[in-house]
Amino acid sequence: MEKIQHLWKQIYEGVCEFSTPTLERFMTDLADIKNTHFSKVQPPDTTWYKDAVIYSTYADLFNKDFSGLTQKLDHLKSLGVNCIWLLPVLESPMKDAGFDISNYEKIRSDLLGCAADASTDEKDLIFADFIKAAHDRHIRVIFDIALNHCSVDHAWFKEARKSIHSTKRDYFIWSDTTEKYKEARIIFKGMCTSNWEKDEISGEYYFHRFFEIQPDLNYRNPEVLVAMTKILINWKIKGIDGFRADAVPYLWKEEDTNCENLEKTHLIVKFLRAVFDYLEPGTLLLAEACQPPKDVVAYFGTEDECHAAYHFPVMPRIYRAMAEEKKDAIEWVMHPDFTPAIPPACQWFMFLRCHDELTLEMVTPEERAQVHQYYAKDPSWDFREGEGISARLASLLDSDIRRIRLAYSIMFTLLGTPIIYYGDEFAKTNDKAFYEEMYAETGYKDSRYLVRGRIDWIQAEEDLKNPNSLAYQVYTCIQKLVHVRKEHKVFGRGTLTMLDVHNIDKTINAHVLSYTRQIEEEQVTLLHNLSAKEQVITLTNESSAKYDLLDQPILYRENALVLPPYGFYWL
């Protein structure tokens, strides 16, 4: 409680002279919430996210609604998933796939399979049944919440735009010119031309970092921070195990800065963390910060900010390494000079694909051009004028089962917690029909809709019965990797050391990506052949080749180890 008060003072001293009464009311409410809803017994494992395998999905696109998702929980449990990341589920006009939230307190009625006018109790019960069904299967649930912005349809913004004297006016950022915050880059380059939008009702401009239908919240107003904190608490009370903090680097704005990663943004995150550590330690805060790792590491603080963060730069380097058939790009991105050490209780989250594009923001211009040219096989896949590629994993890798398996093996064994994107477990490809549907509905030529789209469960289940289908082969591969990973804590908690392996002539083999993972007495050596050609190598540590955790036969030729094209071992 003292830390919460101290952080509040750091945020608002000299910014808002009327913040003290707001804090006093909040602290009283917080103590009542603790006594009413949260046990004084701490959870047994506050670092559960280190051993998690995450499944990221939209409830509706996965299987219509929460009832449909509940029916498929056994599919996820069989796959080995023990945490679901729900992509946006809160009430929204759906102009930006649900990231434009019009009511933070309610889940969209269409996801609950009930009428829009159903009672709040009815809606709460449907969601509670889903949470219970997941928890009964030892599957945790985290979900997306956009802390930086809401929808123009949110009641706060509707009230704010009525008058400059509105009680909600200061929930947002207004100006009579577009000159303020000129150093802030335009994030949706190619889709937006300014961070300011003129409001036809009030006549002033409002600030937005994303689409113009998403006004930024004004955290200089302490009522905003209290309101957003209470919203998160209410969802925690309803059973949510953690939160993906969408667009977290942009929360605080200062003139003559780029309005990213500012000190008071970090203080806000520390405040949220302190609140949840007071209520129930281990409530996950996951930073969605598409920034260089040296900047993202700051969101861990001293284990007092986010528990975990996405490692965005790894993903494009995996694709670059596979395109070049050389290990250098991955070795470089994982080097301590690029990826600094993080606090022991913190964790990177890794992914091959997600609901967004294959982002090329965190690479050099040369890498961006190289990866874009190699993988953007259709002009419609382009995102933000060459800064990304909107394509699913199977589409990017030409539905080649060998390369898909290889990519998953790398992702599952590098540092961090792996994320499986819905449908990728049976090689779902780009969905042009869904893109056209959403373009007609929203008016935005957002190529990311290609990587979304609904699952055809009739077709998927038919494919999963056929051992010759790509869907079956990908599913069984991922299932094996997940189950083996979960049996060995070394993958979620161990150290990583890059290795060179050698050809028979003692030269370094640049095609084989190799590293060890170690925790206490357990050591696993990972070997990945990035090449379409067989590689014959020697190992300096022969004891590491006792057996393969994946039960694959280890091939030898003249006392050298043989890696088939795109083959890999977990030794």
Instruction: Return the active site residues.
Output: 246, 288
* 3-state DSSP assignment of residue 423: coil
The residue count of the chain comes to: 571
Closest among 164, 173, 167, 144 to 155, alpha carbons compared: 167
* 3-state DSSP assignment of residue 364: coil
The distance of Cα 80 from the centroid of its chain, to the nearest Å, equals 19
Distance CA 444, CA 390 (A): 14
Record the tokens describing residue 428, joined without a space. Answer: 């779902």
Record the tokens describing residue 132, joined without a space. Answer: 């219970």
Distance CA 284, CA 268 (A): 16
Distance CA 535, CA 424 (A): 28
Distance CA 455, CA 433 (A): 13
Ramachandran area for residue 436 (φ above 0: left; ψ -120 to 50: alpha; else beta): alpha
End-to-end C-alpha distance for the chain, whole angstroms:
48
What is the DSSP track for 467-525?
Answer: TTSHHHHHHHHHHHHHHHHHH-THHHHSEEEEE--B-TTS-B-TTEEEEEEEETTEEEE
Tell me the C-alpha to C-alpha distance, in Å, between residue 99 and each of 62, 89, 139, 214, 262: 17, 9, 24, 9, 23
Closest among 501, 504, 511 to 541, alpha carbons compared: 501
Tell me the C-alpha to C-alpha distance, in Å, between residue 347 and each of 130, 269, 309, 316, 340: 27, 16, 7, 19, 12
Distance CA 263, CA 252 (A): 8
